[in-house]
Structure 1
C-alpha cells in the first residue's frame, strides 16, 4: 500500500514555502540598491526569482506517492538550485556589505575546509550519494511518517543541490575549483549515478520504497529523464563559464589584470 508523505500541503500551507519568497525579497532589495553603483544584471535577478518560484512549487507539490516525490526532488534538488546559483547571490551579497565584511568573507572562503566543502566531488557525494542512501535504506520509509525528518530530507535536497550546481558552474567567488574538464567528468559521474539509481528503482530491486511496481516505474522514469534535463542545463551553464577561462588562458599584456 502506498503511504502519504508527512507534512504534505494538504495538511495546511507549509511555512517553509514562505522562506524562498523572503529570500527573493532580500535579493531584490540588494539588487535595487546597486542602481547607484555599477548596476546589476537583470538576467541574474530573473534567474534567482525563477529559482525561488521553483522552490515554492516544489514545497507545494503534492508528493502523495513516489512519482510526486520525484517531481518534488527534481524541483527542489536540481532545477531550483541551478536557477538560484546562476543568480549569483554571493556576488550580490559581497557588493551589498561593507569592504571590511567582504574581506572577512573572502578570507573565510580561502580556508582549506571551505575548499574541501566546495569541491565538486563533495557535492556529488551529497547529491547522488544521498539519493542512493535515501532509497536503499529505511530512510525514505521513515520520512513518510515523520514530518521533521521529511523536512530535513527536503532541506538536504536544496542545500546539496545548490552546492553541487555552484561547484560545477556557479559564477560566485569561492575557493579554487578544479578546471572545467575535471568538473565535466564529475558531472558525467553524477549523470551515471542518477541513471543507475533510476534503473534500480525501475526494476524494484534492492530499494526500500513502499510503492507499487507501476509507481516505482513511473518514479524511476521521472528521475531518469528529468534528471537528464537538469544535468544538461547544468552542463550548458558550465560551458558558458568556460569562455572567460579560455580567454584568460591566452597571453595577455603584462599591464592587463587577469
Structure 2
C-alpha cells in the first residue's frame, strides 16, 4: 500500500512538472466573474405533529435526481450530475433546536443512495450506515431529533465505495440548526438576504466542460476550479449580507478565503 501511494504521488509530481503532460491534469481555464446573487433554494415543506406527544415536526420532502449544469459558457454542459431536488448544493434545510425533523428522500437517480447528516447527533437507523442503501424508486424517512446547540451541518450521500464520487457530482447540501439564543445577537437573520451559507469545494473538469470523476482515483482528487454555493471561479454577491456560515465538501483541499466588496 505504501509503495502504491508513493508511485501515485511520483506520477502526480512528474505530470505537473511536464509542460505538455500537465495539460492533461488541468481543467480548462475559468475566467468569468460570477456577478449575481448566490443561488439559494429552500425545499418543499409541510408542517406536521407527533400524534402521541402533539409536538411540532418539521417535515421535508426531497428528490434525488439527475440534472445538467452549464459551468463553462464556452463549452458543453456538465452532464450526469445528481443532486437533491436536481440542484447542487441541495436545498438548505432550516431547522430549530428541540423540534424533531423528518426528511423524506426519494431516489429517482440511477444508483442506490443513502444520506448522512454530517456532525449530527443521529439515531442509528438514520445515521447513514454505508450499506443501508435506498434503492432506485424507493424512499426513506430520516428522523433527526435536533437536540444539539445551534450549528451549520451538511448532509451528503454515504453509499459504500461511492461517497466521494456522489458528493463530487452534486449530492450535498446544508442543514442549519437554529436556536433562540442566536436571536440575542441582534443580527438580521432573514435567510437568503441577510444570512447565507457558503458551500466551498474544488473540482476538476474535462476539456469538453464535463465534470471529471474521482471514481477511478485510489487517492484524493484535488480540483483546480474552486466553487462556492453552486457558482464557479471567482465569486461575488450583489446582496448585502451581514452573517454567513461556510463548510467545505470533499474531495477538496484546504481552502482559505476572504470576503470583499467589488466596485461595479
For the superposition of Structure 1 and Structure 2, which TM-score range results when normalised by the shorter chain?
under 0.3
Which structure has more relative contact order (CA 8 Å, sep 6+)? It is: 1
TM-score, normalised via structure 2 length = 0.27
TM-score, normalised via structure 1 length = 0.27
